[in-house]
Copies of this chain bind each other. A is one copy, B any other.
Amino acid sequence: MTPPQLLIVGSIGLDTIETPRATVERVLGGAAVFAASAACRFAAPAVVGVVGDDFPPEHGALLRGQGVDLTCVDKKPGKTFFWHGRYEEDMNNRVTLDTQLGVFGEFAPRIDPPYDRIATVFLANIHPQLQLDVLDAMRGSPLTAMDSMNYWIRTTPDLLKKVIARVSLFFVNDEEARMLTNRQSIRSAADALLSMGPEWVVIKRGDAGAGLFTRDAEFFVPAIPLRQVVDPTGAGDTFAGGMMGYLARRGGRSFAVMKQAAVAGTVMASFCVEDFSLNRLACLGKQDIVERIGRIRDLCAFDPLDF
């Protein structure tokens, strides 16, 4: 097995999801799971997480079959993290009907050697203190990235800013970016976030695409216009996972590689939402990915203007 190139720390869960057209119960989910399932197309990911003794063994087998290293996933007595949500007709809005933290409530990331020397680290959305603990545990100078959510912005903003100050890349959606910076212009919000420490900020805008920002450069990748979205759960994690997987593979931090990585993330997210859980992500061929990269390139291509 390839030695892991990307460390992903985050939730592993079971999701019950209601959409206007279908309902699925206790399917495999969690930010680290979606991220790993996207990243594994580009690099070998290892997940740091925790599951309960109710976690179906076939889920672990599915991930391992995709080349995901689960050595740092603990199995604890108790229940696996469970989330029950319902999407409105407008698939952009969702209501949480139930959340049961289970063993995830006591999650303490365990990063045994040699996993503490992995060169690329993605901190999915977890308590900012745990994100700091992971950064402290890492050796060497890894490329680090983080995601978060509005809950931590509201409840632990100072701690969250400490993490933001220490990572290379910050993933955030447009609403959270405005909430964190009190600025309305996306470019201006990106400036404010960059001034908190990260070298790069990625602002996700759902089906409108994503922007990648440094202090003096920017890149925009549109989302692929899909005729039907089955389930948007995990799209943001999949985007980040695809991007981090590509960065881990290329080992680069140049703007050119960051742009390619953002395209990789966008493509993976477009597959994620086409079915529930990992149903679509897990059965992709390389050609599927290559075809969508071409679609993104074509989507924004235009001839020189004549006037």
Q: Let me know if A307 and B264 touch, CB within 8 A.
A: yes
Most B CB contacts (10 A, CB to CB) among A184, A185, A301 go to A184
| Interface stretch of the complex, out of A104-112, A115-123, A162-170, A218-226 | A218-226
Any B CB within 8 A of the CB of A199: no
Chain B residues whose CB sits within 8 angstroms of the CB of A256 once the complex forms: 302-303
| Interface stretch of the complex, out of A75-83, A137-145, A147-155, A186-194 | A186-194
**Beyond A209-B222, A218-B299, A219-B300, is A305–B185 a contact (Cβ under 8 Å)?**
no
Interface string of A209-241 (1 = CB under 8 A from B): 101010000111110011111000000000000
Q: Let me know if A307 and B246 touch, CB within 8 A.
A: yes
Interface string of A243-272 (1 = CB under 8 A from B): 000100110000010011011100000000
Q: Mark out the residues of chain A between 48 and 69 whose CB falls within 8 Å of any chain B CB in the assembled complex.
A: none
Any B CB within 8 A of the CB of A90: yes
Chain B residues whose CB sits within 8 angstroms of the CB of A228 once the complex forms: 185, 188
Any B CB within 8 A of the CB of A97: no
The residue of chain B having its C-beta at the shortest distance from the C-beta of A228 within the complex is B185
Most B CB contacts (10 A, CB to CB) among A92, A301, A307 go to A307
Quick one: which of B178, B205, B218, B250 contacts A306, CB cutoff 8 A? Answer: B250
Chain B residues whose CB sits within 8 angstroms of the CB of A188 once the complex forms: 227-228
Q: Let me know if A260 and B302 touch, CB within 8 A.
A: yes
Q: Which 10 A-B pairs have the closest CB atoms?
A: A187-B225, A300-B300, A208-B208, A220-B222, A259-B302, A260-B305, A220-B299, A188-B227, A187-B227, A42-B307
Interface string of A90-105 (1 = CB under 8 A from B): 1110000000000000
Any B CB within 8 A of the CB of A275: no
